[in-house]
Amino acid sequence: MDTCELHAKTAIRKRRILSLIAKPLLKLSGFKVTGSFPSNNRVILVAIPHTSVYDMYLMFLMVYTLGIDMNFLAAKWIFSRIASPFRLYTDPDKQGIPWPLGFIQKYIFIKAGGIPVVRSGKMNQLIIIINILKRKESFNLIIAPEGGITKTNKLKLGFIPLAKKLNAEVVPVQVDYKNKVFNFLDPLDLTQHKDKLVTELMVKFDGVVGKKSTYSLNE
């Protein structure tokens, strides 16, 4: 057995174990998965609304239940700090509260497929993300296009050029706390004009309630 084959078998075994753990936990949360997961080997999942840090943990349970690998984008501070109800720093990369086990948290998040997003400075994050993902034969990247958990009626559209550069399919996912479902919708047509695409997304997610209903899109 060569090294590549060994790694592939190890990855399959890991996904099976994680799936066995995640399924009962997702069921305990009351959430279920509806719709069809795309068959494309390069997929960007646009998850809306993103209103709470809790969304991320539910997304972990969802993808592990489905038995798939994933990557996700998250603010740099989330990888090593604990969320705080108060804004302690003005630097967007130093939100939350530092704690002694932050290095373990970072290791776990990186191993889980996390890609830190630096919000300060002048680095082109789109190019960095493209360079990370273009080396992969397949990936499932989860993006929350609101760009944070504060109330907003606007979407960040960086996933459009990202998908085009990586030849990836974009699939909207309704994170619906009212009906307790992750609902996979049909892939987006990226050939249409950006304004039409935004309008389509707003319609698809109109009325979908997040954990904090007052932060939900269109609320």
Where residue 121 falls among pLDDT bands split at 50, 70, 90? low
Angstrom CA distances, 130 to 13, 133, 162, stand at 28, 5, 7
Least-confidence region, from 39-48, 106-115, 116-125, 198-207: 116-125
Residue 151 clears pLDDT 80, i.e. is over it: no
CA-to-CA distance for 182 and 184, rounded, in angstroms?
7
Query: Which residues lie closer than 8 Å to 172 by C-beta, 6 or more apart?
Result: 45, 46, 48, 184, 185, 188, 201, 204, 205
Residue 129 clears pLDDT 80, i.e. is over it: yes
Are 49 and 178 in contact, with CB atoms under 8 Å apart? no
Q: What integer is the mean pLDDT of 195-208?
A: 89
**pLDDT on residue 173:** 95
Range of the domain at 10: 3-215
Residue 208 clears pLDDT 60, i.e. is over it: yes
> How many domains is the chain partitioned into structurally?
1
The pair of three-digit structure tokens given for residue 175, joined into one six-digit string: 């994170």
**pLDDT on residue 182:** 94
Least-confidence region, from 45-54, 161-170, 181-190, 206-215: 206-215
What's the pLDDT tens digit per position in 69-98?
A: 888 888 888 888 887 777 777 777 778 888
Helix (H, G, I), strand (E, B) or coil at 176: strand
Where residue 214 falls among pLDDT bands split at 50, 70, 90? low
Residue 127 clears pLDDT 90, i.e. is over it: no
Residue 183 clears pLDDT 90, i.e. is over it: yes
Residue predicted with more confidence, 44 or 16: 44
Q: What integer is the mean pLDDT of 32-53?
A: 90
- What is the pTM for the complete model shown? 0.82
Q: What integer is the mean pLDDT of 105-114?
A: 87
